[in-house]
Structure 1
Amino acid sequence: MHSPRQRPPVTGTRTALDRAESALIGQYGDLTRLAYLTLPVSLGRHRRVLLAHGIVQRALPGVRGRLPAPRRPDADGDGAGAPVPEARRLRRHVVRAALARERRPRGWPAALPPPGTLLPGLPLVWGLRLFPAAGGAEDMALGRLLATAPAEARAAFLLLRLDGLPVAEVREVLTGAGVRDPEGALRAADELGSAVGEQAERLLRSREFDACFVQTRPTDLLRRRRRLWCAWGTLAALVGFLALWALPGPGQDPSPAGAGTDARAGVPVPGPRQLTRTPADVWADTSRVDFTAWPARGDRVDDDGLLSRALSVWARPPRSVRPAVAPDTPAEPPTRSPQLLYAGDVEGRAVVLFHDVQRIVRYSEPLTSGTPSLAIARADDADVTTAAAVVVARGRGTVRFLTAPWIAGAETRDLLRPDSPARRLRVAPDGVTGTVPAPAARTACDSVPVLQLRSSARIVEKHAFLLSDLGGLSPVHLTYTPLPGTGTGAPPSRQPRESTGAPALVAWARLGCGLREVRGSGVRAVNVWDFAAQDLPEHGGRSVWSCVRASTWRGPGDVVVRWRTPDASAPARVVARARSTAACSRFGQHVVAGTRWRAGSGHWYVLAAGSRAVSRIEVAGDVTESRAGRTLAVRTPEKSRTRVTVSGVLTNGDKLMEIGRDG
C-alpha cells in the first residue's frame, strides 16, 4: 500500500497567513512610503501612489493556499538557511517590485510595465487624480534631492534613515531584491543622508511623502471627453470596417438594415448609441433656441432597430427609396453623429427625425409592409420661430406637426378669414399635434389654413406667430411689415413683425393665396411689406402697395409686388416680379413699382409708388411725367396697352429702377 501524500496542516498555513497579514497591516504606511519613494519619479505622483499601494497589497503571500518560506542566504550563498522574518520579507518584496519599474528596455513605452512584470492590478481609479498633500519648502527640496538619486540609493536611504535598519540588514534586503551593486547603493545613500542632515527622518515622515494621505482632483475633463470621443470614433470605424466584409456582392440588392458604411464614400454609418440626445430642459436655459435645444421625444427613441434602419437608409438609400431633397440642400450621408429629435409611430408609420447642424432629416416606414421614405431639408440658422415645428406626417389632405419644446399653445386659423377666431389645436405630451388641414395645391383657393403658435413665457413674453405648410419639412414663418408712418411701421431695415395683429391679418387675407406659388421651393419665411399707400384718382379710394418676399434657407429670395385695390373682395394684383434678389429685405430697402388702372369713368391711369426713401417718381414711354413725392397717378391715352417705364429718385440723388427691370 502506498502512503498518502503528506500535506501541510491547514491550521499552520492559516496561522502563517494571519501573521503575514498582521505584519503587512502594521507596516502598511511605511511600506507604501518605501514603494512610493523608490518608484521612478517619471511615472508621476498619481501613478506612483496607485502602484505603491498595489505593490504593498500584492506582498501578501500564499495566494494559492501555500505560504512560501523565504530563507536567509547562508555563508556559502546556496540559499539554504534560516527562515527570513516576515517584516524583512515584506521590505524585500516592496523594494524588488519598485526597482523592477526601473528595469525596462530602451525605447520601452513608459505607460507600460516592464517585460516580465504583471499588469497593474487593484487599486484602480477612474476620473480622479491622487497625490500626497503638498509639504513645505524643506519637504520640496528633499523631494527634488531624492529625484536625482538612483532608485537603489533611495531605497537604501529610506531603510537606513526611516526604518532605522543596520547596514548589514539593508545590504541583505538590497541583495534579496536583486540589486547588483548593494555597496554602491549604500555609498550613494550615505551621500544622500549627508546632504539632508539630521532632519531627514522628520522630513520623510511628512505628508509630502505619505502615499496613504492623499488629495483628489478631477482629471483633465476636456481631454477625457476628447479621448472618449476618439474611442467611440475608433469603435465606429472598426464596426464600419467589419461591416464592409458583410456588404452584398454584385447584383444583390443592399439591405438597409445591414448597412454599416456609406457605399458611395466609405464613411462609417453612426450607430444608435452615437446619436446626440439633448436633455429635456436645455431649451429654457440657453440663448440658442433652435433645433439644437430639442430633446429626443417619442415612444421609440430607444428602439435601436428602427434607428439603425433610419441611419442606414439615410447613408445608403436602397433602390426602392427615392429621397425627397429640398432645393439647395446637400443630400450627402451623415458625416458626424446627428441629433435625434423624435422616434415614434404617427399615422400608421414609424417616424424618425434627425438634425445634423444644417439639415432636418425625416425617415418614415410603414408599420406593416411597404416602402420607407426619406426627406431632407435645410435648417441652418433656424431660430425660435423657424425651428418651432416640423412636419412629422402627412395624410390625405391633412398634416401633423411636431412642435418645439418651448411651444406653450397651438391654434389653427384660416388666413383668408381674418375676422374668424383661431381654433385650439390638440398637442400630445410628446409634441405631436392633431391633424391640420393642408393648404390646397391645385384646387380653388377658398381656404389657407395656418398654425398659430405661442412661445413659453420662460423664453419670451406673449410671443405668438404664424406658420404655413408649403410642402417642406419645416413650415414657413409668415411675417408682416406695416406701412411707414403708422406708428409701428418701419422699412425692412428693422425686423418684420409677427402676423398676428389685425392689420397683418387683413393684409394676408388678400395675399394668402399667393403662397402656393412658392410651394416646395425651399422657402424659410415670407414677409409682406406694405411700402406705400395711394389715394386713387376720381375718388377711387385708397390702395396699398405690398412687396411680398419669400426668403429661402440659403439667403436669396423671390419678390412679388402686389397692389391691393379698395375692393376687399378682389385679390391683390401682381405688378412686378424678381427672382434671387435682395430686394425688399434689410439689404434691399428701396423699391419703386408701377401699374395701370381703369377708373369707374372708364379713364385709364398709370399709377406708381415708391418706398420711404423715394423723393421723386418719373414715368417715360407712351406717357412722360415727373413728379415729386412717393406716389404718382397720370392719365394715359384711352387704350389699354400703354407702354411706360417707371423709375424713382432717392433722397440722396441715386436713381432707382422699377423692380423687375434691369437698370
Structure 2
Amino acid sequence: MVTSQRRSPDGRERITLREAEAGLVEHYTALVRLAYLTLPPTLSRHRRVLTAHGLVQRALPGFRLRKAAPRVPAQRPGPTRLGPERLGPAWVRERVLRTALAYERRPRRWPKSLPPPRALRPMLPVVWGLRLFPRTGGREEIALGQALSGLSADVRAAFVLSRADELPDAQVRALLEAAGVGHPDRSLRVARQLDAPAVAAAQTLLRSAEFNACSVQTRPTDLLRRRQRCRLAGAVAAVVAVGAVVLTATGSAPDPRTARPALGPVTAADLVRAPRTTGAGASRADFTAWPPRGVRTRDRDLLDRALATWSRPPRGTRLSRTPDTFTGPPPHGTQLLYAGEVAGDAVVLLHDGLRTVRYSEPLSPGGHAKLHFARTSSSDATTAAALVVSRTRGAARYLTAPWIAASATRDLLRPDVPARPVRVSAEGITEPLRGPAASGPCDSWPALQLRSSARAVGQRAFLVTDLGDLVPAHLTYTPLPGRGTPARQPREATGAAALASWAHTACHLAGLPEGVRAVNVSDFAGQPLPGGAGRAVWSCVRADTWRGPDEVSVRISCPRPVEGGRAP
C-alpha cells in the first residue's frame, strides 16, 4: 500500500486509502449534511437520512486516482503537511457530492412520481420498524428549508459548500466542476442570490438540528400494517419450522450458558428522568422535556405499584382509555413525569413516547386503583402544556409544563370578561378549575389561558380546554380572508376577533369525540342578513384527534337572535 502522497507519471495525485478514510471519519457530520441537503427534496426525510449516511459510508469503495490541479512545481512538503486534513476531506467530499447529484438525474421517460433509479437500490444502513428524521427547527429553519427545496441540486450543493463548510468560491467552483456540474459559475451565483435577509444567518441555520442528519428522532412505522406483515411472516416461519422439524431427525438445544437473558419487566429503577434544566433550555418542547415533579418521585414502592398495575392490572382496577390507544405493558425507556398526592389520591404520570398514563390510588384504605391511557405522540409546546392530574366533582387540577410562566382561566361564552389568574403550586399544579357542564344548558364554557416563558419556547399566550381527556385540547382561530391580514394560517385564539368567534362555537365542543388534540375555527365567508339584521359569518370547525382522523363541521353565527329562535 502507498504510504505517502506523490504524483504519478500521468499527472494524477495519489491518495492512500488510509488518508481518505481518516478524512471521512473526521468530517463525517459535514459530509452527511452535504449529502442530505443535496439529495432531492422529493425523497422522504427518513429516506434522505438513510441515503445520506449510505452515500458517505460508500465513498471509499472503488478507490481511484484523482486528477491534480495544475500548479507550479514546488519543494516537496513533509508528510505532516500532506495528511488527511488536505486531500482526504476534499477527495471524499467530491465523491459524496458526485453521487448525491446523480440522484436528481432521471433517465429519459422516467416517471416523475417515482424516485430516481439510484434511490430504488438497497443501500446500507437499513432501519426496520422505525422512521428517522432530524429534529424540527424554528421559523427561520423552515423558511430556509423551503427556499432550498425550490432550487436544483447543484445550487443546493453550492449553497452548503459556501455557507456551511465556508469554502472559498474558487474551491467551490472546482469541486462542482469535478463532480460533473456543467455550469458551476451559475450554480454559485444563484446560491449567492439566496443569501437574502431572511437567511442572513445561513451558517448558523445550516448547522442547526433541522439540517443535521446525524442527530435524528425516531418514530414507529405504520403499526397496523406492520402487525399484518408480522402475522404473515409468523405464519410463513411456522410452516418453515414445521418443515425443518420433519426433515431434521436430530437437533441440538442451545447452550444455556451462552443464552442472552431477556429484558425483565420495567421497575422504578428503569424509569427515565429528564434533567430539571431541560424545561428552559431543551431543543424540544414536548413531554420528553418534562422533569419529574412531586413529593413522591423517590417513592419506589408507589412507582413499582404503578408499573405493575400498568403491566398486569389486578382485579378491581378501573381502566379507561381514549379511542385506539394501546394498553400494553410499559416499555423500557418509560419516563416519569409526576408522582405526588393530589385531592386525597396518590397520582403517578408516566410517558413512553406514544402514550401518557395516569395511575391513581386512594390514600385511605378500601378504594381501587385507576389507570387511564391517552395517546400523546408528536406533541408540541401547546399540546404538551398541561395534563389533568386530578378530576373530582366536575373540577380538574392541571399539571402545567415547566415552560409555562403564567396561568389564567376565562369563559369562552363571555369574550369581554378578562381572564382571571389561577393559583399554581410550586410543583406546577393549578387550583381546582370548574369544567364545562356535563348536562343541562350551555351557559358557560371555561378555558385555561396559558403563557409560555420567553426563555424556553418563545413567549406567547394560548388557550386549552378540558374535553374529558387526560390532555386538554388546544384552541386556535383563522380569521376571515382579506382586510390586510397575513396568510390564512391558524393562530392563537386570544385576540378579540378570535374570542368573539369562539363565543358562537364553544358550546359545540360538547359533541366532539374523545381524544381531540386541537380545534380550529376558521371564518371563511360573511354575508349580510335580510332586513338589515346584521352580518352572518360562516365558519369551518375542524377537530384534530391524536389518532389521526379529523372531524369537520360548518357553522353560521349571527350577531343577535333572529326571528323564530336563537341564532346558531
TM-score normalised by the chain length of structure 1: 0.45
- CA drift of 1:442 comes to 1.3
Q: Secondary structure in 2 aligned to 1:516?
A: helix
- CA drift of 1:488 comes to 2.7
- CA drift of 1:319 comes to 1.9
Q: Tell me whether 1:422 sits opposite 2:419 in the alignment.
A: yes
Q: Secondary structure in 1 aligned to 2:511?
A: helix
Q: Which residue of 1 aligns with 2:177?
A: none
Unaligned runs of 5+ in 2: 1-79, 81-261
Return closer, same or farther for 1:279/1:381 CA change in 2, 3 Å cut-off.
same
Q: Distance between the aligned counterparts of 2:567 and 2:369, measured in 1?
A: 42
Q: Which residue of 2 aligns with 1:499?
A: 493
Q: Tell me whether 1:438 sits opposite 2:435 in the alignment.
A: yes
Q: Which residue of 2 aligns with 1:371?
A: 368
User: Alignment RMSD, CA only?
Assistant: 1.9
Q: Tell me whether 1:335 sits opposite 2:322 in the alignment.
A: no
Q: Tell me whether 1:273 sits opposite 2:269 in the alignment.
A: yes
Q: Secondary structure in 2 aligned to 1:311?
A: helix
Q: Distance between the aligned counterparts of 2:392 and 2:524, measured in 1?
A: 39
Q: Which is greater in Rg?
A: 1
Q: Distance between the aligned counterparts of 1:571 and 1:458, measured in 2?
A: 46
Q: How does 1:251-650 map to 2 (within 5 A)?
A: 268-369=264-365, 370-488=367-485, 490-491=487-488, 494=489, 496-518=490-512, 521-567=514-560, 573=568
Q: Distance between the aligned counterparts of 2:533 and 2:509, measured in 1?
A: 28
Return closer, same or farther for 1:568/1:418 CA change in 2, 3 Å cut-off.
farther
Q: Distance between the aligned counterparts of 1:474 and 1:486, measured in 2?
A: 35
Q: Distance between the aligned counterparts of 1:488 and 1:462, measured in 2?
A: 22
- CA drift of 1:534 comes to 1.0
- CA drift of 1:367 comes to 0.2
Q: Distance between the aligned counterparts of 1:267 and 1:391, measured in 2?
A: 32
Q: Secondary structure in 2 aligned to 1:307?
A: helix
Return closer, same or farther for 1:276/1:487 CA change in 2, 3 Å cut-off.
same
Return closer, same or farther for 1:523/1:285 CA change in 2, 3 Å cut-off.
same
Are the equivalent residues in 2 in contact too, given 1:451–1:467 (CA < 8 A)?
yes
Q: Distance between the aligned counterparts of 1:462 and 1:568, measured in 2?
A: 38
- CA drift of 1:288 comes to 1.0
Q: Distance between the aligned counterparts of 2:351 and 2:431, measured in 1?
A: 23
Q: Secondary structure in 2 aligned to 1:284?
A: helix
Q: Secondary structure in 2 aligned to 1:470?
A: coil
Q: Distance between the aligned counterparts of 1:513 and 1:537, measured in 2?
A: 26
- CA drift of 1:516 comes to 0.7
Q: Distance between the aligned counterparts of 1:473 and 1:426, measured in 2?
A: 20
Q: Secondary structure in 2 aligned to 1:413?
A: strand
Are the equivalent residues in 2 in contact too, given 1:510–1:568 (CA < 8 A)?
no
Code of the residue aligned with 1:284 in structure 2: it is: A
Q: Distance between the aligned counterparts of 2:540 and 2:518, measured in 1?
A: 14
Return closer, same or farther for 1:572/1:318 CA change in 2, 3 Å cut-off.
farther
Q: Distance between the aligned counterparts of 1:435 and 1:459, measured in 2?
A: 26
Code of the residue aligned with 1:431 in structure 2: it is: G
Are the equivalent residues in 2 in contact too, given 1:481–1:489 (CA < 8 A)?
no
Are the equivalent residues in 1 in contact too, given 2:292–2:336 (CA < 8 A)?
yes
Q: Distance between the aligned counterparts of 1:426 and 1:538, measured in 2?
A: 48
Are the equivalent residues in 1 in contact too, given 2:270–2:332 (CA < 8 A)?
no
Q: Which residue of 2 aligns with 1:159?
A: none
Are the equivalent residues in 1 in contact too, given 2:276–2:291 (CA < 8 A)?
yes
Greater relative contact order structure (CA < 8 Å, 6+ sep): 2
- CA drift of 1:509 comes to 0.8
Q: Secondary structure in 1 aligned to 2:280?
A: helix
Unaligned runs of 5+ in 1: 1-136, 138-265, 574-663
Q: Deviations over 1:133-160 (max 9, x none)?
A: xxxx9xxxxxxxxxxxxxxxxxxxxxxx
Are the equivalent residues in 2 in contact too, given 1:544–1:564 (CA < 8 A)?
yes
Alignment coverage as a number of residue pairs: 306
- CA drift of 1:345 comes to 0.1
Q: Secondary structure in 1 aligned to 2:341?
A: strand
Are the equivalent residues in 2 in contact too, given 1:482–1:490 (CA < 8 A)?
no
Code of the residue aligned with 2:337 in structure 1: it is: L
Return closer, same or farther for 1:475/1:304 CA change in 2, 3 Å cut-off.
same
Q: Which residue of 2 aligns with 1:588?
A: none
- CA drift of 1:572 comes to 5.5
Are the equivalent residues in 2 in contact too, given 1:349–1:365 (CA < 8 A)?
yes
Q: Which residue of 1 aligns with 2:94?
A: none
Q: Which residue of 2 aligns with 1:109?
A: none
Q: Distance between the aligned counterparts of 1:321 and 1:540, measured in 2?
A: 56
